[in-house]
């Protein structure tokens, strides 16, 4: 594993200690190798100031807390706290978090979603289909028809490429 060092400088300009940095790529690759062949996958890894590591995981059929604990312990075994000063948080990228990976879109096909497009338009619909290029949204709207008193229910489908999507979240319904 490659190590990168930075200097913390005192007021007088002398280095006070060397701090090995833990980078996102190293953490991601380590966890992905551990999860390889399972139904679990890494959604996001971020290393914030002070070596505060945050890892978001998901699974094709959900993610039990037990798996988050296992991954956390695995990372802690790989990075000695004597050598690396860090804090680690492993969490589920569950409901309410934006969908980021194709695998998450596939997992949530058929569910109601809230979406925001890159042009700023937003809406809610059922994510009917998912493929490598984008998603197919399905919605019902009541539309006023000229010459009739009542609005009629109209079904509409909208194909959206991933490049047009700014954010998609599974709609929580209680």
- In contact, 19 and 85? CB cutoff 8 Å: yes
Q: How far apart are CA 64 and CA 170, in angstroms?
A: 19
State yes or no: pLDDT of 1 exceeds 80.
no
**pTM for the whole structure:** 0.78
Residue for token pair 């991954």: 71
Query: For 41-64, what is each residue's pLDDT tens digit?
Result: 999 999 998 889 999 999 999 999
Mean pLDDT value across residues 88-109: 92
State yes or no: pLDDT of 134 exceeds 50.
yes
Tokens of 72: 């956390």
Q: What is the pLDDT of residue 22?
A: 78
Half-sphere exposure of 107 (CA within 13 A, CB side): 20
Q: How far apart are CA 125 and CA 108, in angstroms?
A: 13
Q: What is the pLDDT of residue 83?
A: 77
36 closest CA partner among 71, 8, 66: 71
Q: What is the pLDDT of residue 141?
A: 87
Q: List, in sequence order, every beta strand (DSSP E) within the chain.
A: 4-9, 15-21, 40-48, 52-59, 87-92, 112-117, 122-130, 134-144, 151-161, 165-170
Mean pLDDT value across residues 102-107: 96
Q: How far apart are CA 110 and CA 135, in angstroms?
A: 11
Query: For 24-41, what is each residue's pLDDT tens digit?
Result: 999 999 999 999 999 999
Mean pLDDT of the chain: 87
Give all domains of the chain, ordered by start, each with its CATH number.
4-92 (3.30.300.20), 102-170 (2.30.30.100)
pLDDT band at 18 (very low <50, low <70, confident <90, very high): very low
Q: What is the pLDDT of residue 19?
A: 47
- The residues near 111 (Cβ < 8 Å, ≥ 6 apart) are 126, 127, 170, 171
Query: For 75-90, what is each residue's pLDDT tens digit?
Result: 999 887 777 788 999 9
* The residue count for the chain: 174
Q: What is the pLDDT of residue 21?
A: 66
For residues 5 and 134, the model is more confident at 134
């Amino acid at each position: 594993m490659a190590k990168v060092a930075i200097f913390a400088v005192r007021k007088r300009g002398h280095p006070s200690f060397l701090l090995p940095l833990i980078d996102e790529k190293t953490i991601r690759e380590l966890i992905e190798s551990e999860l390889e062949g399972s139904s679990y996958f890494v959604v996001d890894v971020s290393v914030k100031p002070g070596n505060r590591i945050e890892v978001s995981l998901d699974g094709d059929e959900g993610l039990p807390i037990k798996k988050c604990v296992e991954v956390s312990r695995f990372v802690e075994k790989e990075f000695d706290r004597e050598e690396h000063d860090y804090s680690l948080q492993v969490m589920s990228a569950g409901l309410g978090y934006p969908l980021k990976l194709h695998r998450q879109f596939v997992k949530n096909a058929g569910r109601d979603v809230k979406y925001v497009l890159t042009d700023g338009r937003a809406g809610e619909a059922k994510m009917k289909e998912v493929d490598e290029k984008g998603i197919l949204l399905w919605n019902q709207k009541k539309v006023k028809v000229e010459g009739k008193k009542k609005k009629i229910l109209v079904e509409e489908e909208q194909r959206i490429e991933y490049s047009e999507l700014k954010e998609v979240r599974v709609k929580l319904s209680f």
